[in-house]
A and B are shown apart, each in its own frame.
Chain A
């Protein structure tokens, strides 16, 4: 038996191809949405992997440093280094802000690190790591910054000395790594006017500026002007030690919160991007319903255009399954064309998204199955209509 569906498709291939193209663009959007979600998850994992830490030590009762603000004294790491199982510990600060570059703002996450310690970008694609104590930066390539370029963070200019890749915050902002001291200043140091106002406030407070305690007010003012805080301490566990065991020691003896890698993944993926994931999930469902409606409408319209031929086919003895098979095959063909177009366009436009889009083969396979199921389901209305056609309509009267 010849393929009636194949012949019909070839006969009106232009209409069919354009319909498949339109459907494909919709499927491309659907695959991209799945890719955006996967990208967010992968960004989160990359953020944790690239930090080189086994434990994230943050302020007690917080989900810091990525999901909630966390503030620790910058000497906490010394105490951690003395604990059994801790191989290395280093301070880190995280601050999302606008960075000025050639008069334009770029939103980045400024990360303060100690060169050579956990938290430093693990690999560079150009330039060199931070070497000087101040005013150098290593930027993620997604910032668009160039090697040697000067960028402004708060009151100081920094020279971009290195470029890295896949270092973005959980919300997708590319990272700029600067020396810890500079980052602490950027985050915690007050501006000059605020310092002057704060000094005046201390001096006019009789409790802080007592005649019998000379130097007290000045000492208080100096302590307020300092920037001795960090957001987290990144810890590497010594070989042979269980990270959870070390984390428990930190929680018990240092009165701090310590998260292991699985716990941080849980915070990033299940908590931080959970709302976005649900948003994308709802959008995917809507797109699936819209795709099904479109395929259904297209196949139904195509079938309505063939009612006379269907009546003739039935009159000359075609079985119902032959006619149903023709319509089903056309719907599946449309789905196949749509999927191929969708996968192609999703792959082509993925690199142009501002955030990382990860198109996983597994998602593509699941998408293909879903598209085929939707198309099969969408063809039922047309099949029902075709099977109701009375072969007598081919005969006049």
Chain B
């Protein structure tokens, strides 16, 4: 991805979703989880996606993450249409590997790899050399202030450190977009805000768009832009964009 996509990123939204729909099942038992979602996120922007349980947040995240195939609509990443009624000659697995980063509620690091290899893993899966992957991993760990834990086992890290390593892993392939699924849920206020601060810093530094799905009242005021999702539809509103420092 890279140079070409980053060049595009200056002009095109990092992610652009139009009339995205997802229906589970068929006939009388069919359930419309997404009923026409529209959403745009610019490079370097961090937006919040909030909504009650069952509103379609996770379904939207799975569709954007190329884990679940939408039923209709369009998704474009950095100006390139990747889904338009079907994946556009793209392997969803390769799409996830090369162009989407994931941060989960729990860090879900691979326990049998050390910190550096956890971060290097997406690059290694993409076929990069071990040397290059580890160099990039060390850079990211330094950017996230966990370079001193580079050789540590996952179990030796605190919860906050693990979450920072998970963010570093999501950034490893320099994806235009990161999907964060309730990344602050298990953290107290101070640590939750620290994670949001890091996400904002990384978004700025790497011009990555970050969509944060959250219920967390502590961090909602920090977003400059919010998408509410209700009954399978999104409603955009301006956030407070409160300075969390």
Contacts and interface: CB of A to CB of B under 8 A. Distances in A.
Most chain B C-beta atoms within 10 Å of own C-beta, residue among A4, A316, A392: A316
B68 A392 contact: yes
Interface stretch (A8-16, A180-188, A342-350): A8-16
B112 A316 contact: no
Nearest to B94: A317
Nearest to B172: A316
A10 B126 CA distance: 24
B116 to A, nearest CB: 10
A316 B97 contact: yes
Interface in B103-133: 104-105, 108, 110-113, 117, 121-122, 124-126, 130
Nearest to A318: B125
A322 interface: yes
Nearest to B114: A7
A314 B62 CA distance: 13
A397 B65 contact: no
A396 B181 contact: yes
A10 B67 contact: no
A2 B130 CA distance: 8
Contacts of A8: 112
Contact of B124 (A1, A10, A12): A1
B22 interface: no
Nearest to B58: A397
B105 A396 contact: yes
Interface string B82-102: 000000000001101110001
Interface string A187-227: 00000000000000000000000000000000000000000
Contacts of A242: none
Contacts, number: 82
A11 B112 contact: yes
Contacts of B102: 315-316, 394-395
Interface residues of A, number: 26
A308 interface: yes
Contacts of A315: 65, 67, 96, 102
A309 interface: yes
A195 B61 CA distance: 104
Contacts of B59: 397
A312 interface: yes
Contact of A391 (B67, B121, B169): B67
A319 B58 contact: no
Given A12-B112, A395-B104, A322 B61 contact: no
A1 B124 CA distance: 5
Contacts of B113: 2, 4, 7
A69 to B, nearest CB: 67
Contacts of B181: 395-397
B124 A312 contact: no
A391 B67 CA distance: 7
A395 B58 contact: yes
A394 B98 CA distance: 18
B136 interface: no
B112 A395 contact: no
A294 interface: no
A350 to B, nearest CB: 37
A196 B59 CA distance: 105
B57 interface: yes
A313 interface: yes
Given A395-B181, A396-B181, A317 B126 contact: yes
B129 to A, nearest CB: 10
B216 interface: no
Interface string B114-156: 0001000110111000100000000000000000000001000
Interface in A333-381: none
A319 B111 CA distance: 19
A397 B113 CA distance: 27
Nearest to B113: A7
B96 A316 contact: yes
Interface in A381-397: 390-392, 394-397
B67 A395 contact: yes
B161 interface: no
Nearest to B112: A11
21 contacts: A2-B117, A4-B110, A4-B113, A7-B113, A12-B112, A308-B108, A309-B108, A309-B111, A312-B110, A313-B121, A315-B102, A316-B121, A316-B122, A316-B125, A317-B96, A319-B93, A395-B65, A396-B104, A396-B105, A397-B57, A397-B58
In the complex, the 4 A-B pairs of residues with the closest C-beta atoms, listed nearest first:
A317-B97, A397-B58, A11-B112, A8-B112
Given A11-B153, A390-B67, A397-B62, 18 more contacts: A1-B130, A7-B112, A11-B112, A12-B112, A308-B108, A309-B108, A312-B108, A316-B96, A316-B122, A317-B97, A317-B122, A319-B93, A391-B67, A391-B96, A395-B102, A395-B104, A397-B59, A397-B61
Interface of B: 57-59, 61-62, 65, 67-68, 93-94, 96-98, 102, 104-105, 108, 110-113, 117, 121-122, 124-126, 130, 153, 169, 181-182
